[in-house]
Amino acid sequence: MIKMVKSLLIAALFMLPVCVYAQQDSIWLKCPLDDAMVVPPPKNIMKFDEPDLCIVLVSIPDTTVKAVITGRVSNVVQNDDGNWDVVFYYRDYYFWYAGLSKALVRRGDNVKTGQPLGYIPIGGKLEFLMYNFETPVDPVKYLDCKKVLKTE
């Protein structure tokens, strides 16, 4: 009996680091908009490309776009169409917000979960992309947007 208890204790000690590491790898994200509707993402022009793993949100009452998690802004760029893109990272994850009419953050800023990053115009589209380093990831699997994820 004592031998079995020792074996179980040793097995538990070896499994503990694996469980702790698995907990650190999971990530949960707050919704970038409080009240929005999901619309289909834009289609790629190139036929052989895989579709972009992104979520496109449209909001009429809520135009303030918020950080989904705490991180650091790596890039803020104004596109040719006048809209802004904001990219920030947390660990190896990068979050790309496209379609902002105004950016409230600058490169190098530290942001907290729920902090405003910028605005979208009323009825404008926010395109949200997520990457694990350079690999595109489906953000829908990680976003906690229960009341927001309504489709058109």
| CATH, residue 130 | 2.70.70.10
* Rounded Cα distance, 9 and 106, in Å: 51
Domain span at 32: 2-144
Residue 105 falls within a domain, yes or no?
yes
**Of the candidates 130, 84, 74, 140, which has an alpha carbon nearest to the alpha carbon of residue 107?**
74
Residue 149 falls within a domain, yes or no?
no
Q: Return the pLDDT at 38.
A: 82
CA distances 80 to 43, 77, 84, 125, Å, are: 20, 10, 9, 16
Domain count across the chain: 1
Judged against a pLDDT cut of 70, whether residue 144 lies above it is answered with yes
Phi, psi of 26 (to 5 degrees): -80, 150
Judged against a pLDDT cut of 80, whether residue 15 lies above it is answered with no
Judged against a pLDDT cut of 70, whether residue 80 lies above it is answered with yes
Mean pLDDT of 128-149: 86
Which token pair is 133?
Answer: 């380093």
Residue 14 falls within a domain, yes or no?
yes
Q: Find the helix or strand (DSSP H, E) in which 120 lies.
A: none
pTM of the predicted model over 0.95? no
pLDDT in tens, 31-76: 898 888 888 776 655 555 556 688 888 887 778 999 999 999 999 9
Residue 124 falls within a domain, yes or no?
yes
* Rounded Cα distance, 73 and 88, in Å: 4
CA distances 152 to 52, 57, 84, 100, Å, are: 19, 10, 25, 21
Residue 151 falls within a domain, yes or no?
no
Residue 104 falls within a domain, yes or no?
yes
Q: Return the pLDDT at 54.
A: 84
Over its C-alpha atoms, the chain yields an Rg (Å, rounded) of 20
Q: What is the DSSP string of 73-125?
A: EEEEEE-TTS-EEEEEEETTEEEEEEEESEE---TT-EE-TT-EEEE--TT-E
pLDDT in tens, 95-136: 999 999 999 999 999 999 999 999 998 888 999 999 999 999
Tokens 């949100």 belong to residue: 57
Range scoring the smallest mean pLDDT among 3-17, 30-44, 81-95, 115-129: 3-17
Residue 33 falls within a domain, yes or no?
yes
Judged against a pLDDT cut of 60, whether residue 23 lies above it is answered with no
> DSSP code of 51?
P
- Under the banding of pLDDT at 50, 70 and 90, the label for residue 89 is very high
